[in-house]
Amino acid sequence: MSVVDGVVENAKTIADSWIEGNQAEISQWHQTIWNLAEPAWREYQSAAWYVDRLRREGFDVEVGSGGMPTAFCARWSNGPGPTVLAYAEYDAVPGNCQAANTRCEPREGLSRFAPGHTDPHSALGIASLAAVLATKEAMTTSSIGGTIVYTGEPAEKVCGSKVVHGLRGYYDGVDAIVSFHPFYMLPLCNTVRWDTHCGAYYSKIYSFVCDQPETWGELDNSPIAAAHSAARAPGADAALATMWALTKTTQDSMAPSVGGWSLSEAILSAGQATADNLPAALAQIQYSWRTPDIAIAERILKVLDANASFAAASSHCEMKERWVSRNRPGLANHAMADVTWRNLVRVGAPTWGDDAYAVANEIRQELGVPAVARPLLAETEELIDPKDAERALRTHLPAWQKNWTSDDYVEMTWYAPTVRFYIARPALALDGFTSAVPGWAMNALGGIASTIDPTIVCAARVIAGTLLDLLSDPSALEEARREWHERRVGGPTASLLSDDFAAPIDYRWPEYIDTERGHDWWIPANAEF
CATH number at residue 279: 3.30.70.360
Q: What is the pTM of this model?
A: 0.95
- Same domain for 320 and 333, yes or no, is no
- Same domain for 260 and 362, yes or no, is no
Q: Which helix (H) or strand (E) holds 286?
A: strand 282-291
Domain final position from 310, 327, 344:
327
Beta strand pairing call for 512-515 and 518-521: antiparallel
- Same domain for 56 and 115, yes or no, is yes
- Mean pLDDT, residues 499-518: 89
pLDDT digits 0-9 by tens, 43-53: 999 999 999 99
- Same domain for 246 and 189, yes or no, is no
Instruction: Tell me the residue type at 85.
Output: L
- Mean pLDDT, residues 158-170: 97
Compute the distance between CA of residue 521 and CA of residue 94 in angstroms, rounded to an integer: 10
pLDDT at 526: 52
Spatial CA neighbour of 245 closest among 324, 331, 156, 311:
311
Does 186 reside within a domain?
yes
Compute the distance between CA of residue 484 and CA of residue 331 in angstroms, rounded to an integer: 8
At 3, is the pLDDT very low, low, confident or very high (cuts 50, 70, 90)? Answer: low
Name which of 114-123, 210-219, 452-461, 479-488 the model is least confident about. 210-219
- Same domain for 334 and 446, yes or no, is yes
> Does the pLDDT value for residue 312 go beyond 70?
yes
Mean residue pLDDT across the chain = 94
Does 495 reside within a domain?
no
Of all residues in the chain, what percent carry a pLDDT higher than 70?
A: 95
- Same domain for 164 and 268, yes or no, is no
Residue 60 burial by Cβ neighbours in a 10 Å radius (0-12, 13-18, 19+): exposed
Instruction: Tell me the residue type at 19.
Output: I
> Does the pLDDT value for residue 229 go beyond 60?
no
Q: Which helix (H) or strand (E) holds 512?
A: strand 512-515
- Mean pLDDT, residues 342-367: 98
3-class secondary structure for 334-365?
HHHHHHHHHHHHHHCCCCCCHHHHHHHHHHHH
Residue ranges making up the domain that contains 96: 3-199+329-488
- Same domain for 194 and 238, yes or no, is no
- Same domain for 254 and 401, yes or no, is no
Does 504 reside within a domain?
no
**Residue 222, CA distances (Å) to 225, 229, 230, 277, 498 in order:** 6, 7, 7, 16, 50
pLDDT at 228: 59
> Does the pLDDT value for residue 151 go beyond 50?
yes
